[in-house]
Amino acid sequence: MSSAPETGNTLSNPVVPGFHPDPSICRVGADYYLACSSFEYYPGVPVFHSRDLVHWTQIGNALDRPGQLRLPPGTSSSGGLYAPTLRHHDDRFWLVVTNVSGDGNILFTATDPAGPWSDPVRLPGVQGIDPDLAWDDEGNCWCTVAGVSQIRIDPQTGETFGEPRRLWSGAPGAKAPEAPHLYHIGAYWYLLIAEGGTERCHGVSIARSRTPDGPFEPCPDNPILTHRGTDHPVQNTGHGDLVQGPDGSWWMVFLGVRPRGGTPGWHVLGRETFLAPVTWVDDWPVVGEVSLALSPPPWPLQRPAAAPVRDDFELSELAPVWISLRSRPVEHYSTKERSGWLSLRARGASLDDPEAIFVGRRQQHLSFRARTSVDPAEGRGGLAVRLDEQHHYEIEATASEVRVIARIGPLRTVVASHPVTGAAPVVLAIEAAVTRQVTDARQGPDTLAFGVQDPEGVFVELAALDGRYLSTEVAGGFTGRVIGMYAAAGTVHFDWFDYVPLED
């Protein structure tokens, strides 16, 4: 569901739209793989495949079993899994990631990145987020973390050797040196980092050394990527990873956001994965222009089949695009209880509850329409736009009523209600319309309209809400909007769900 929409001769950037931050990429022959952070959502760490760096298809989630991902009930929103590094070495894929809400740094291997991935190898001696893996010619494995420091590890056992060594912290005084990636390219070892924090001052800097453990010499042109202080439509650019294209050219994947509306600008899709070309001058990488419309690269494009927009819940397993909150216990989620339906058995009386039963997908387009057909005869539930427990809007059905509810910070209110007549199911709908033109500095980024579909298929709007309250600038944190179905009482059955991008 993640292919980039295309117009004319250009390809659209972000290449992986929606809440897909902290991209890490690796190449194996003609194939590219990419992994992102997933925080409190389960399953964790979405993994994508591409053959042209532009069109990406989700092939799984690396951590998709309870034995791999433990997000205890106290796991806060934007806790959980941070910043994976994905590498290929010795005929195997290696993925290292931090679970900030429990297991710390954990490492997984797979022969097929679509899975299954191994059980976790814990790295108790590696302290710090954003772990990276790099192997030198002697076979030593170097694990580098935010700070930036490094320790040698045995990736099979998780054993560490010696004490962590401080390598380089970016510009003196700059906040949050993080997201290190270490590469051996030509005669140098390069240490790529992010600095300035993941907000508007984010950036990417680099240093180089003749050996993997330093000393590192900073690039005279740092930061090599930042949009701080600019009016570029893509902001917060940082957290990059380098890769070579099929023709040997160089590219960087990195995160960025698309703020909309008036002042100060609100972004609602979370941090998304973008692509930019890289050239080399004096053995330093130079990042080219970041564009929302990429020029086609000089190799064949491999467009995947059109992304499915509708799920009829005919399969026994949920597709990888679907994510839940912290865990997905089988007794609460079923596609077998009623054949061809998704049945959700409630735990927690609303999405305010961290343990709520929810199946959602990331919002990947600025404007979209999502619908679901719900049978609430045995419970209460509906369709939601979720940022976290304190920031969500939903349209909820019972056997007698449909209500629109807004939760914004400490406030929760029923915005509209509408009696239900006739037999279930009811089609609930959400339409998001991006703010195209700013005529007032206080204008929000988008409007979210909630309604039901009448028997003729016509959308009947019950409420329209300002989208700014479901933005990262209001809610805080590291995630983005997720659209999905939930149960708040009893068992709620969903016949189908569809999500259609609308014209921006």
- Residues annotated as part of the active site: 22, 178
Nearer to ligand 6LW (CB atom), residue 37 or residue 150: 37
Nearer to ligand 6LW (CB atom), residue 13 or residue 350: 13
The Cα–Cα gap between 468 and 476 comes to 12
The Cα–Cα gap between 300 and 54 comes to 11
* Contact status: 179 vs ligand 6LW (CB under 6 A): yes
Q: How many residues bind ligand 6LW (CB under 6 A)?
A: 15
Applying the rule CB under 6 A, the residues between 362 and 401 that interact with ligand 6LW are none
The Cα–Cα gap between 345 and 357 comes to 7
What's the min distance (Å) between Cβ of 419 and ligand 6LW? 44
What's the min distance (Å) between Cβ of 129 and ligand 6LW? 5
What's the min distance (Å) between Cβ of 255 and ligand 6LW? 6
Q: What are phi and psi of 472, to 5 degrees?
A: -70, -30
Tokens linked to 398: 């019972």
What's the min distance (Å) between Cβ of 206 and ligand 6LW? 15
Applying the rule CB under 6 A, the residues between 149 and 178 that interact with ligand 6LW are 178
Applying the rule CB under 6 A, the residues between 72 and 101 that interact with ligand 6LW are 82-83
Burial label for 160, CB within 10 Å (0-12, 13-18, 19+), is: middle
3-class DSSP state of 462:
strand
For every residue of 228-258, DSSP letters joined together read TTS--SSEEEEEEEEEE-TTS-EEEEEEEE-
Nearer to ligand 6LW (CB atom), residue 39 or residue 341: 39
Which residue lies nearest ligand 6LW, judged by its C-beta? 198
SS3 of 41-79: the string is EECEEEEEEECCCCCCEEEEEEECCCCCCCCCCCCCCCC
Nearer to ligand 6LW (CB atom), residue 107 or residue 344: 107
CA angle 472, 476, 482 (to 5 degrees): 50
Asked if residue 75 lies in contact with residue 62, where contact means CB atoms within 8 angstroms, the answer is: no
What's the min distance (Å) between Cβ of 100 and ligand 6LW? 8
- Collect all residues with Cβ–Cβ distance below 8 Å to 443 and sequence separation of at least 6: 261, 262, 435
Nearer to ligand 6LW (CB atom), residue 37 or residue 373: 37
Residue of the chain from 198, 205, 226, 343 that contacts ligand 6LW (CB under 6 A): 198
Amino acid at 172: P
- Smallest CA-to-CA distance from 212 within 125, 151, 300 is with 151
* Contact status: 38 vs ligand 6LW (CB under 6 A): no
Q: What are phi and psi of 152, to 5 degrees?
A: -85, 140
What's the min distance (Å) between Cβ of 15 and ligand 6LW? 17
* Contact status: 126 vs ligand 6LW (CB under 6 A): no
What's the min distance (Å) between Cβ of 479 and ligand 6LW? 9
Applying the rule CB under 6 A, the residues between 431 and 490 that interact with ligand 6LW are 478
Residue of the chain from 80, 131, 158, 238 that contacts ligand 6LW (CB under 6 A): 238
* Contact status: 237 vs ligand 6LW (CB under 6 A): no
Residue of the chain from 17, 21, 44, 360 that contacts ligand 6LW (CB under 6 A): 21
Q: What is the binding site for ligand 6LW (CB under 6 A)?
A: 21-22, 37, 82-83, 129-130, 178-179, 194, 198, 238-239, 255, 478
